[in-house]
């Protein structure tokens, strides 16, 4: 549909803007969860349109890509709205135990990647039942991309993967790299490395033995999840998947490395469609200059738009398959 509208414009035929042509409607949607329902939002672009399942990132991040803190970029909501203008439907979800999915499990920290994969299958079943489409696209942002990758070998029917700001290394390696580069951590590097080494070996850590600045990151109630998450190698997972894959990475991402992670994924999946956005940060919004206020605004202000190349490239990728 995107190409068709562009051709009409070139021929001088009058066409309404995409947002006017497509009367996309949003409604609540639920899928079966382990102990209670999983909740989300279905942005319906029309009958038999492709559907993208959007998986949020780490921690207390909701269906829109916003957190309980001041981090509220609305990346997933903006992406869903942009895709709807291209005739692509989407389902944005709250993870089990959180927000609208709070009833699914009593403790949102007591979870594994495999259980998130189970939820992805539940969502795919629900989407198929409601729409009658033949397959569902799975898109994940940041840690959500790892969930998408872990889903690829088992969930069905899967149209393909869209990996946004995706890790290319194990979470243990990424945390080690981030903490080593953080200001003021040089004196506690032995504690950082010791804690990560223990978790990677499947051993718990007593947070009270760590520097106060590390206790929240390595708090007891998330250690088993970290252990589980560290077992996954994103590069191996993407190499094993043979279906359509799109990789998206911002050049100004300070959480996922444009070289160490993005390049690893590209090398592991040379046939993947790779989109590099030089000015985009982790939330896939452009950041100009080096002003800290501008950088933070892209994280905290939902009115800051996504990189202008993001939605058209994803839409073209989905519609071409």
Whether residues 200 and 300 share a domain: the answer is no
Structure tokens given for 128: 């198929």
Find the largest Cα–Cα distance for the chain: 70
On whether the CB atoms of residues 91 and 64 are closer than 8 A, the answer is: no
Distance between CA 85 and CA 93 in Å, rounded? Answer: 20
Where does a domain end: 231, 246, 270? Answer: 231
On whether the CB atoms of residues 42 and 310 are closer than 8 A, the answer is: no
Q: What is the pLDDT of residue 35?
A: 98
3-state secondary structure of 127: helix
3-state secondary structure of 47: coil
The domain in which residue 151 lies consists of: 2-170+234-320
Whether residues 215 and 73 share a domain: the answer is no
252: CATH: 3.40.50.1820
Q: What is the pLDDT of residue 291?
A: 81
Query: Which residue has 């990346």 as its token pair?
Result: 75
Total domains present in the chain: 2
Whether residues 73 and 205 share a domain: the answer is no
Whether residues 276 and 186 share a domain: the answer is no
Whether residues 261 and 150 share a domain: the answer is yes
Structure tokens given for 247: 């990789």
Whether residues 253 and 224 share a domain: the answer is no
Where does a domain end: 209, 231, 253? Answer: 231
Per-residue pLDDT of the chain (321 residues; tens, 9 = 90+): 333 222 222 323 223 334 334 468 999 999 999 999 999 999 999 999 999 999 999 999 999 999 999 999 999 999 999 999 999 999 999 999 999 999 999 999 999 999 999 999 999 999 999 999 999 999 999 999 999 999 999 999 999 999 999 999 999 999 999 999 999 999 999 999 999 999 999 999 999 999 999 999 999 999 999 999 999 999 999 999 999 999 999 999 999 999 999 999 999 999 999 999 999 999 999 998 788 888 899 999 999 999 999 999 999 999 999
Whether residues 166 and 306 share a domain: the answer is yes
Whether residues 36 and 138 share a domain: the answer is yes
Main-chain phi, psi angles of 55, to 5 degrees: -105, 125
For the chain, what is the radius of gyration of the CA atoms? 20
Distance between CA 200 and CA 273 in Å, rounded? Answer: 32
Q: Enumerate the H helices of the chain as residue ranges.
A: 2-10, 18-21, 75-84, 113-131, 143-151, 171-181, 189-200, 212-215, 220-229, 234-240, 262-268, 292-300, 310-320
Main-chain phi, psi angles of 182, to 5 degrees: -70, 140
Q: Which residues contact 317 (CB under 8 A, 6 or more apart)?
A: 162, 244, 246, 273
Whether residues 11 and 107 share a domain: the answer is yes
Where does a domain end: 210, 231, 252? Answer: 231
Whether residues 86 and 19 share a domain: the answer is yes
Whether residues 158 and 275 share a domain: the answer is yes
Whether residues 122 and 195 share a domain: the answer is no
On whether the CB atoms of residues 140 and 61 are closer than 8 A, the answer is: no
């Amino acid at each position: 549909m995107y190409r068709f509208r562009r051709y009409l414009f070139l021929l001088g035929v009058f066409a309404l803007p995409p947002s006017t042509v497509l009367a996309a409607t949003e409604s609540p949607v639920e899928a079966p969860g382990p102990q209670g329902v999983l909740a989300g939002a279905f942005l319906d672009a029309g009958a038999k349109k492709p559907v993208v399942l959007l998986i949020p990132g780490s921690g207390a991040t909701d269906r829109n890509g916003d957190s309980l803190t001041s981090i509220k970029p609305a990346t997933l909501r903006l992406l869903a709205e942009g895709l709807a203008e291209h005739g692509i439907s989407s389902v944005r979800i709250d993870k089990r135990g959180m927000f609208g999915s709070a009833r699914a499990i009593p403790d949102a920290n007591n979870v594994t990647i495999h259980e998130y994969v189970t939820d992805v299958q539940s969502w795919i079943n629900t989407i198929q039942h409601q729409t009658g489409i033949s397959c569902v696209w799975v898109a994940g942002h940041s840690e959500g991309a790892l969930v998408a990758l872990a889903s690829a070998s088992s969930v069905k029917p899967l149209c393909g993967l869209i990996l946004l700001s995706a890790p290319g290394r194990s979470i243990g390696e990424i945390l080690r790299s981030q903490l080593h580069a953080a200001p003021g951590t040089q004196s506690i590097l032995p504690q950082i490395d010791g804690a990560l080494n223990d978790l990677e070996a499947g051993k718990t850590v007593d947070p009270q033995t760590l520097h106060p600045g590390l206790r929240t990151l390595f708090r007891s109630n998330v250690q088993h999840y970290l252990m589980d998450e560290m077992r996954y190698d994103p590069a191996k997972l993407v190499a094993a998947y043979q279906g359509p894959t799109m990789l998206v990475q911002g050049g100004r991402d300070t959480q996922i490395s444009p070289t160490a992670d993005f390049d690893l994924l590209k090398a592991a999946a040379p046939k993947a469609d790779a989109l590099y956005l030089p000015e985009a940060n982790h939330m896939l919004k452009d950041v100009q200059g080096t002003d800290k206020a501008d950088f933070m605004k892209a994280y905290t202000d939902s009115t800051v738009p996504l990189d202008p190349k993001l939605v058209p490239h994803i839409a073209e990728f989905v519609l071409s398959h």
